[in-house]
Amino acid sequence: MKAFKEESLEKREWTPAGLLELSGSYWSTCALHAAVKLDVFTFLADATMAADELATELDCDSRALVMLLNAMAALGLLEKQGEEFTDTPFAAKFLSRDSHGYLGHIIMHHHHLVSGWSRLDEAVKSGKPVRERVSHEEVESSRESFLMGMFNLANLLAPKIVPQIDLTGRRRLIDVGGGPGTYAIYFAKQNPELDAVICDLPTTRSFAERTVAHFDLSDRIGFIAVDLEKEGLPEGFDVAWLSHVLHGIGPETCATILKNAVTALEPGGLILIQEFILDDSRVAPVFPALFSLNMLLGTPEGQAYSEGELIDMLKDAGATDVHRLPIELPNGAGIIAGIVPQNH
């Protein structure tokens, strides 16, 4: 079975220059991470400052900071006028902590993953993770970057996805592994008669409740603490939404969670799975193929799954009319839907 939107089947034409550019691309990545971590873009969103002035504000070495600022200007994220710097409009919108479009949380989540990626060879040799599971991370800053990073990403996509999914007549949605509850929020906003419950680890509660309250939906969206890998789910729902939950676990645990999700639904209920989806060759699209390695680094059994695997999993869990929705998403993502039969 082929993915809904395949990448070109033509192989990249590699050159030594292109190979070396790929090998050294982490320089730009690490420079961006440093600028975000130091909050450079927040200070320069509404101000034009010289490096030594900003260095005082950030408690940085002025010689070193001007090198970083020059690099950000070279990348097109800062504007330089004489010896002074300011954000580009794009950076002010997405990299300033004061902006509603701020993406710094997901960038800092990527930063926390860098050390693990540098040990990929160890993970490939052992077949075991080399870092803690991010969703179970005990360090508050890392967990916040992960959860609010998921909010960053979902906040970009949910407004485009949710209007394309018809939930007319449905009243109760369970957001399985919903993290900060971004999709529950947008489904509730799109469907005024819909209430929702976010089910995730206890450590997620404060982030979810704070995010839901920010959207003034605390009266319609609740939270139930559940360890999805060890516990069942509450029942009585007519929609189940699982966004990027399955890639963190192995096939057997996926089967258990999907059966629990189907059991949580009333007959005729709709189950929706969003994942980074490989085609059945497992070599395309590129992002899910690389994402599998990210799961190798941080989980015992996680991986990206193919469209055929996800469809079979959902059928085995008891769903019928299982199919991929015709919704185009970035990074090889897609949504698989199924219906709980009336004799369930």
Read off the pLDDT of residues 165-183 as tens digits, 9 standing for 90 and up: 999 999 999 999 999 999 9
Measured distance CA(294)–CA(139) in Å, rounded: 19
Prediction pTM value: 0.89
Asked if residue 141 belongs to a domain, the reply is: no
Measured distance CA(329)–CA(158) in Å, rounded: 11
Asked if residue 215 belongs to a domain, the reply is: yes
Read off the pLDDT of residues 195-212 as tens digits, 9 standing for 90 and up: 999 999 999 999 999 999
Q: State phi, psi for 43 to the nearest 5 degrees.
A: -65, -30
Q: Given pLDDT bands bounded at 50, 70 and 90, which one contains residue 146? A: confident
Per-residue pLDDT for 137 more than 80?
A: no
Q: Given pLDDT bands bounded at 50, 70 and 90, which one contains residue 8? A: very low
Q: How far is CA 27 from the centre of its chain?
A: 23
182 shares a domain with 329: yes
Measured distance CA(35)–CA(51) in Å, rounded: 13
228 shares a domain with 307: yes
**pLDDT at residue 331, rounded to an integer:** 94
Asked if residue 34 belongs to a domain, the reply is: yes
Read off the pLDDT of residues 243-297 as tens digits, 9 standing for 90 and up: 999 999 999 999 999 999 999 999 999 999 999 999 999 999 999 999 999 999 9
Asked if residue 9 belongs to a domain, the reply is: no
83 shares a domain with 174: no
CATH number for the domain that contains residue 54: 1.10.10.10
329 shares a domain with 253: yes
| Structural domains counted in the chain | 2
Q: What is the span of the domain harbouring residue 321? A: 160-339
Q: State phi, psi for 47 to the nearest 5 degrees.
A: -145, 155
> Annotated catalytic, 247?
yes
Per-residue pLDDT for 151 more than 90?
A: no
| Residue in 136, 244, 247, 323 annotated catalytic | 247
Asked if residue 219 belongs to a domain, the reply is: yes
Segment 213-235 mean pLDDT = 97
Average pLDDT, the chain: 93
319 shares a domain with 192: yes
164 shares a domain with 46: no
**pLDDT at residue 141, rounded to an integer:** 67
Measured distance CA(116)–CA(298) in Å, rounded: 8
**pLDDT at residue 134, rounded to an integer:** 62
197 shares a domain with 72: no
Segment 62-84 mean pLDDT = 98
330 shares a domain with 200: yes
Q: CB under 8 Å to 275, separation ≥6 — which residues?
A: 244, 246, 247, 304, 305, 310, 333, 334, 336
Domain boundary among 97, 123, 144: 97
Measured distance CA(298)–CA(110) in Å, rounded: 13
**pLDDT at residue 152, rounded to an integer:** 86
179 shares a domain with 308: yes
**pLDDT at residue 9, rounded to an integer:** 40
Asked if residue 207 belongs to a domain, the reply is: yes
Measured distance CA(70)–CA(75) in Å, rounded: 9
Give the DSSP H or E segment for 335: strand 333-339
89 shares a domain with 164: no
